[in-house]
Structure 1
Amino acid sequence: MKLYVVKTPKLLKWVFKSKIWNIKTSQKEVFLTFDDGPTPRITDFVLDQLEKHQAKASFFCVGKNVHEHPQIMERIQKHGHTIANHTYNHYHCYKHSLEDYLHNIELTENLFEQLSINSKKLFRPPYGRISPKATRAIQRQGYNIIMWDILSADFDLKNSAAKCTKNVIENIKPGSIVVFHDSVKSYPILKETLPRVLSHLNENGYQCSTL
């Protein structure tokens, strides 16, 4: 049973309007984002594809993976992509105390500083789940909470690459924030979907920008 929607409803954006779901822009630009990395080989594939299509993106990184693969972080930073926080252990907000959740975010932020990673004060909650208390606490710390306009659904292995590609290209519009995952689980779909999406965006005059 599918428990997600591909295109975020306008009502949901309005109800949770303190979060960022899309970017207001007068340009024909979109914002591709990648969650859960860095992951050896997979994040490198993503970076290769972005470079090939002259595209920029934003990476919401899990601190544990950053610690284990700092060389990939160097490459992300070198190529001018945005780096942002996705907790240290991919915490589900509702399965941890507020104190533990905030500490997990802080661990990743501290790691960015230790590794001289130029990150932005952007945060995406794992699983897209975050409580009102956590939202307020994180925003008080100066973070913008980034959600999405389009969910590619590359994490759903019942989907095909063709279906995920369709999810993106049929819903894309200027200012859209699109979610992909540079993870082992998503790679079988991502490796086919991402090149197709990037080619479509190029052919239709879209610029892929960083948040």
Structure 2
Amino acid sequence: MLRLYKTPALLRRLLPGYTWLREAQDKVLYLTFDDGPIPDVTPWVLDQLAQHDAKATFFAVGDNLVRHRGIAEQILEQGHRLANHTHNHLRGWETSLEGYLANVQQCQQELEQLYPDAAKPKLFRPPYGRITLKQAAALRPDYELVMWDVLTNDYDRSLSPEKCLKEAIRCTQSGSIIVFHDSLKAQRNMQYALPRFLDHFTAQGYTFLTL
């Protein structure tokens, strides 16, 4: 199975209207977590981040914000950032423009009920990285469309935890936006790779910041 861990530079050039990584002169990395928040998994992630004094951005599913509001509040209380990942984890390629925009707005309303700073600026990541040109064009005036530089593939259950960690470390550079998932599907690989990833880059003097 072909897996992409590092976003090709050619793809970044072909799609310049998205944020793939941050320009960084210093040793700075941007951890992101998709699909939560959920019990068991997200609180464990927060504990790991706290142990390394690391901050992260959680691209949350709006429905999970409704069902697990206490965990969302915990994310904010610990100095992390919440951002928009649609309300129902929609596949953009399979969803009408009107339906997609309404679902994004529904998630944004939940975010802004939790904290006003969700609108300064608005961050959005399309589930699966799948979004049509029309959907992106409609969202871009109001949202920064955040993709990634490093995809850990932690959700792939055919991938060994050791390989997940190895490739994540190999592909990461200063300014990288790295994707993990605080989901049940990714739990095995993520819980192996995340603490070791944090250990590795903390020992090298990197700082982990929110987007």
Normalising by structure 2, report the TM-score: 0.96
| Residue number in structure 1 paired with 2:92 | 93
Gaps of 5+ in 2: none
Q: Which residue of 2 aligns with 1:124?
A: 125
Q: Is the 8 A contact 1:151 1:167 kept in 2?
A: no
Pairing 1:35–2:21 present: no
Q: Match for residue 23 of structure 2?
A: 24
**Offset at residue 116 of structure 1 (A):** 3.6
How far residue 155 of structure 1 moved from its aligned partner, in angstroms, is 0.6
Answer whether contact 1:30 1:208 (CA < 8 A) is retained.
yes
Deviation at 1:22, TM superposition (A): 0.3
- SS in structure 2 opposite 1:170? helix
For 2:168, the aligned partner's letter is V
Give the superposition deviation at 1:171.
1.2
Q: Matches of residues 22-171 of structure 1 in structure 2 within 5 Å? A: 22-116=21-115, 118-119=117-118, 120-140=121-141, 142-171=142-171
| Count of residue correspondences | 209
Q: Is the 8 A contact 1:32 1:178 kept in 2?
A: yes
- Work out the percentage of aligned pairs sharing the same amino acid: 45
Contact in 1 for aligned 2:155/2:181 (Cα 8 Å): yes
Quote the Cα distance in structure 1 between the aligned partners of 2:50 and 2:208.
Answer: 11
Question: In structure 1, how many angstroms separate the alpha carbons of the residues matched to 2:153 and 2:8?
Answer: 16
4+ residue segments displaced more than 4 Å: none
- How far apart, CA to CA, are the structure 1 residues paired with 2:167 and 2:75? 26
CA distance in 1 between partners of 2:123 and 2:112 (Å): 15
Counterpart Cα distance in 2 of 1:118 and 1:146: 17
For residue 106 of structure 1, report the CA deviation from its aligned partner: 0.3
- How large is the Cα RMSD of the aligned pairs? 1.0
